[in-house]
Structure 1
Amino acid sequence: MPSIFTKIIDREIPADIVFEDDTCLAFRDISPKAPTHILIIPKREIVSLDDLNDEDEQTVGRCVMVASKIAEAEGLTNGYRLVVNCGSDGGQEVPHLHFHLMGGRKLTWPPG
C-alpha cells in the first residue's frame, strides 16, 4: 500500500509544495513543530535510512542539497535543523524516507 507521501507525489493528496525536481519533492508539514517546517522526500520510495544502498547516495545527497537551498529561500539565516527519524523508536511515523527542515525560532537540544 502506498504511503501518504507517495500519494502526495502522485497528486492524490494535496500539499503545499515548495520545491520539486526529478529526484525529490518538498512541502510544508501539516503539523509544524517550528514556524518553518518543510518535509523533503525522495520521489523514489525508500522506507527509511536502514533501507539505503549505494545507489541511493545521489538521491540522499540531492535531498540534503535541496534542504539547504530551501533554508536559504525561506530566510533561515540564523540557523535551522535538518532531521531524519528512523524506525518507530526514532520517531518515524511515515514509512517513506523524509527530512524535516525546521527553523524560524531558537531550537533547543535535546529535541525529545
Structure 2
Amino acid sequence: DIKLTEAEWQRGIDYLGQVGEVSSSDRNEFALLSHVLGLSTLVLAQHDKKPTGCTEATAFHVLPEQAPLLHDLGADLKAGSNDPKGYVHGSVLDAKGVPVPHASM
C-alpha cells in the first residue's frame, strides 16, 4: 500500500547503517530502535495472551549492568538539567482493577 520508492528505501538502509555505527557491546541501538518503532510491543501483543482489559505488554531491553536504579517517589531523574520536566503517575492493577499488593512502577 505504501509503494516505497527506491530513494526512500535507500534512506532507510542508510539510517540503519548509522544506527549500526553507534551500536556497541554496551549500547544496543537496534534494540532501542525496535522499541521506538513499536516492533517490540507489536510482537508481544500478537503472541502474549492476556485477559480483556489488560494493558499491552512492553519490552524494554537493558543490559544487567545498566539495570535501572530505584528512585524515591518524586525524584528528579535529570537533576541539574534545564530541560522541561514531565510527570508520570499511575497504579498497578490486576485484570479486575484491584491494586496489586507490593507492586512498584
> Shorter-chain TM-score: which interval?
under 0.3
Pick the structure with more strand per residue: 1
TM-score w.r.t. the length of structure 2 is: 0.27
Q: Identify, as 1 or 2, the structure richer in helix.
A: 2
Report 1 or 2 for greater relative contact order, CA contacts < 8 Å, sequence distance ≥ 6: 1
TM-score by length of 1: 0.26
**Which entry has the higher C-alpha Rg, 1 or 2?**
2
